[in-house]
Structure 1
């Protein structure tokens, strides 16, 4: 397996440093996956810009974490599943709903279930939603702008999920209790 460096602000390429600084400001530390992404200034800058928009959108942080956790599970990225499991609970997602998402089931909360189902369907169908997929989401009380905003969240998390699956960053101690493995095929 190819090894990728986990950059610090000091070791990262100059162009990546502002993005790492921004992430440190947001999280209080630089997540290992961001340290791996910093190898490519294009990748880390793209992620930070898009995530800034996603986290400043019309969804609550709880709802954003439901989508991000669903995406991590659907894309089978162990680092991101652990990270977003931790953040989902921190942002108020019921632990039973976090557990359900980790098991590829919908949360009990109706709106979170609609968000999770839409996110999973977007990934599994590569964006080719059917009328039923769209109407089910809209019937849960969301608008069309929410559907398109979910596309942005899926795009942002795909960057992280794919990077995690390519670079295999070590899981930080703080997230060890949320460790996850993809089911065997």
Structure 2
């Protein structure tokens, strides 16, 4: 198994340092996953740029975290599940919603259930939604354009989830309470 260095701002390749500085400012630390992604400056820079764009969607902070958590579970990325569980709770998402998504169940909240469902459908069907998928999503209060914003979230989380599944970075202490192991 390959072991990827977990970089700091100072140890990262020159092309990755600015991205890590931005993450450090945003989160108060450089997340271990991003610190491993920094081994490939193109990856960490693309991730940070896409993440910034995703932050500009019409979704609330809690909705963004539910979407990203749903993706992390679908992609079976333990580090990202712990991170987005922690962030969702910090955003005020009901713990029952977080627990449901972590266990692959639809949340009780219909809007969040629709958001989680469409992200899972996009992943499992590789973007081939049918009219019923979109109607269920829009019936929960989203508009047609929000599907494209979900795709933005998928792009961000795919980079992180795949990198996390390859690198398997350790969880930082603030994330350890939300450690996740895939349910089979």
1:122 — aligned with what?
122
With normalisation by structure 1, the TM-score equals 0.98
Equivalences for 1:1-185 in 2 at 5 Å?
A: 1-184=1-184
Moved over 6 A (4+): none
Deviation at 1:92, TM superposition (A): 1.2
Residue correspondences, number: 184
Deviation at 1:182, TM superposition (A): 1.1
C-alpha separation in 2, matches of 1:141 and 1:109: 12
Deviation at 1:56, TM superposition (A): 1.9
Deviations 1:77-133 (CA, angstroms, capped at 9, x unpaired): 000000100000110110001000001011111111110001111111111111111
Deviation at 1:55, TM superposition (A): 1.0
C-alpha separation in 2, matches of 1:145 and 1:13: 37
Structure 1, unaligned runs of 5 or more: none
CA contact (8 A) 2:103 2:183 kept: no
CA contact (8 A) 2:9 2:17 kept: yes
Deviation at 1:145, TM superposition (A): 1.1
Secondary structure of 2:120's aligned partner: helix
Structure 2, unaligned runs of 5 or more: none
Give the alignment's Cα RMSD to 1 decimal.
Answer: 0.7
C-alpha separation in 2, matches of 1:103 and 1:161: 17
With normalisation by structure 2, the TM-score equals 0.98
C-alpha separation in 2, matches of 1:55 and 1:105: 25
C-alpha separation in 2, matches of 1:60 and 1:172: 25
